[in-house]
C-alpha cells in the first residue's frame, strides 16, 4: 500500500470533492475545498491510518482570491506513507481545526494563526504562540515589511554585543577543524 493508492481511494470515496491530485517526486498531494478539508482529514485518520500530523503550514498567494492556502502534512506511524492535503482559504474564512484528529495539530495551527492570521474554528486554545498577545500584524504575510514594524516592546534582540560573545562556551566560526572550533579548546584569559 502506498500514498498513491490512498489518493486513488480518496477519489473513490470523495469523488468530485477531490479537486485535484498532484504527484511530484513521488510525493502525493490532494487539493480539496475548505468545506471538505476536515472530512478528508478525518477519513485519512480514521480509515487510512494516518496516525500523525507532521506539519501544518500556510501559503500567502497575495493578489489571488482566495489569498491563502492551508497545507496539512500527514503520515503513518511506521513512516511508510506521507500525504499532503491542501485547501484554499479566503481572508475572512476559518479553517476547522484538526486538533480533534491529531493533538499535534494544536501548536502548528497556533503558529499558522500567529504568523499568517488564518483562524481555526473549534481550536481549544487559539492564541499567539510566537508574537505577544495584542500584536496587530502577521509577520509571514507578503505585505509585512522585511524591516518589520515599530513596536512598543523593548529592543532586547538588538543590544549590540551578544552576552556570551567570545566566552568559553561559544564556538568559533571558521577555524581549521572541529577541534579548533570547539569551545573547550580555547584558553580563556
CA distances from 96 to 52, 104, 122 (A): 17, 15, 6
Cβ pair 90, 67 in contact under 8 A: yes
Prior bond of 66 cis (ω within 30°): yes
Residue by residue, pLDDT tens for the chain (189 residues) are 788 889 999 999 999 999 999 999 889 999 999 999 999 999 999 999 999 999 999 999 999 999 999 999 999 999 899 999 999 999 999 999 999 999 999 999 999 999 999 999 999 999 999 988 888 889 999 988 877 777 666 555 555 555 555 565 566 566 677 666 665 555 555
Q: Taking the CA of residue 34 as centre, how many other CA atoms within 13 Å lie in the half-sphere pointing to its CB?
A: 19
Report pLDDT for 180.
Answer: 65
Report pLDDT for 123.
Answer: 96
Report pLDDT for 124.
Answer: 95
CA distances from 87 to 30, 140, 150 (A): 9, 18, 33
Q: Taking the CA of residue 94 as centre, how many other CA atoms within 13 Å lie in the half-sphere pointing to its CB?
A: 10
Report pLDDT for 136.
Answer: 87
Cβ pair 44, 83 in contact under 8 A: yes
Triad 25, 46, 56: Cα angle to 5°: 50
Top-level class of domain 3-153: alpha beta
List the domain boundaries for the chain. 3-153, 154-189
pTM score: 0.78
Q: By C-alpha distance, which of 118, 114, 108 is closest to 54?
A: 108
Report pLDDT for 14.
Answer: 93
Distance between CA 126 and CA 122 in Å, rounded?
Answer: 9
Enumerate residues 6+ apart whose C-beta is below 8 A from 125.
106, 110
Enumerate residues 6+ apart whose C-beta is below 8 A from 21.
7, 11, 28, 29, 30, 31
Report pLDDT for 178.
Answer: 65
Enumerate residues 6+ apart whose C-beta is below 8 A from 41.
72, 74, 85, 98, 101
Please, what's the largest Cα pairwise distance for the chain? 72
Phi-psi region of 15 (alpha: psi -120 to 50; beta: other; left: phi over 0): left
Amino acid at each position: 500500500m502506498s500514498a498513491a493508492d490512498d489518493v486513488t481511494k480518496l477519489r473513490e470515496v470523495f469523488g468530485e470533492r477531490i479537486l485535484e491530485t498532484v504527484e511530484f517526486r513521488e510525493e502525493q498531494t490532494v487539493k480539496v475545498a475548505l468545506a471538505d478539508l476536515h472530512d478528508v482529514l478525518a477519513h485519512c485518520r480514521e480509515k487510512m491510518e494516518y496516525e500523525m500530523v507532521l506539519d501544518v503550514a500556510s501559503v500567502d498567494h497575495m493578489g489571488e482570491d482566495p489569498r491563502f492556502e492551508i497545507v496539512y502534512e500527514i503520515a503513518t506511524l511506521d513512516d511508510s506513507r506521507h500525504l499532503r492535503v491542501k485547501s484554499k482559504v479566503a481572508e475572512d474564512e476559518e479553517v476547522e481545526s484538526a486538533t480533534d484528529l491529531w493533538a499535534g495539530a494544536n501548536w502548528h495551527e497556533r503558529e499558522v494563526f500567529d504568523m499568517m492570521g488564518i483562524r481555526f474554528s473549534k481550536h481549544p486554545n487559539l492564541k499567539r504562540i510566537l508574537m505577544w498577545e495584542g500584536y496587530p500584524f502577521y509577520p509571514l504575510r507578503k505585505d509585512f515589511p522585511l524591516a518589520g514594524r515599530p513596536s512598543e516592546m523593548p529592543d532586547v534582540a538588538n543590544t549590540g554585543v551578544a552576552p556570551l560573545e567570545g566566552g568559553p562556551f561559544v564556538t568559533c566560526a571558521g577555524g581549521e577543524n572541529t577541534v579548533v572550533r570547539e569551545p573547550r579548546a580555547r584558553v580563556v584569559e
